[in-house]
Amino acid sequence: MDCLFCKIAQETVPASIIYKDDEFVVFKDINPKAPIHILIIPRKHIVSINHLEAEDESLIGKMFLTAKKIAKKLEIDEKGYKLVFNVGRGGGQIIDHLHLHLLAGWKNSTERNVPGMP
């Protein structure tokens, strides 16, 4: 399948990977919209939130727990961060492989207002 994020998960396309396990790969966004911009992806190819099936219930739960773990690892858990799923073109999704954006590191609330991100 010709999917960029599948290739990153398989490590056939390079990325700045900061964490990986059996189910997820976590790497730095190539075009960061915040001082810290991380993407959390499942190894399983799922197009978007719209394409989740009942069997993915535990995967999506673990995706949030992975985000929590990464936030702690990056020491942004206390200060705070945003978690964002873009869904479909109207929601700003350009890569059709499920990914959770983790955004953080702003100095103040003005800097936090990122065009294209909530």
What residues act catalytically? 99
Residue type, 99: H
- DSSP label at 87? -
Q: Please pick, from the candidates 43, 45, 62, 82, the single residue that binds Zn ion as defined by CB under 5 A.
A: 45
Residue type, 91: G
Structure tokens at 51: 């394409």
| Half-sphere exposure (Cβ direction) of 107: Cα atoms closer than 13 Å | 0
Residue 97 neighbours by CB under 8 Å, 6+ apart: 3, 4, 5, 6, 41, 45, 46, 47
Which of ligand AMP, Zn ion, none does residue 24 bind (CB under 5 to 8 Å by kind)?
Answer: none
Q: Would you count residue 94 as binding ligand AMP (CB under 6 A)? A: yes
Quick note: the x/- pattern for ligand AMP over 2-31, rule CB under 6 A, is --x----------x-----------x-xxx
Closer Cβ to ligand AMP, 77 or 85, answer by number: 85
Q: Is 20 strand, coil or helix?
A: strand
Which of ligand AMP, Zn ion, none does residue 23 bind (CB under 5 to 8 Å by kind)?
Answer: none
Which of Zn ion, ligand AMP, none does residue 97 bind (CB under 5 to 8 Å by kind)?
Answer: Zn ion
Residues within the interface to ligand AMP (CB under 6 A):
4, 15, 27, 29-31, 39, 86, 92-95
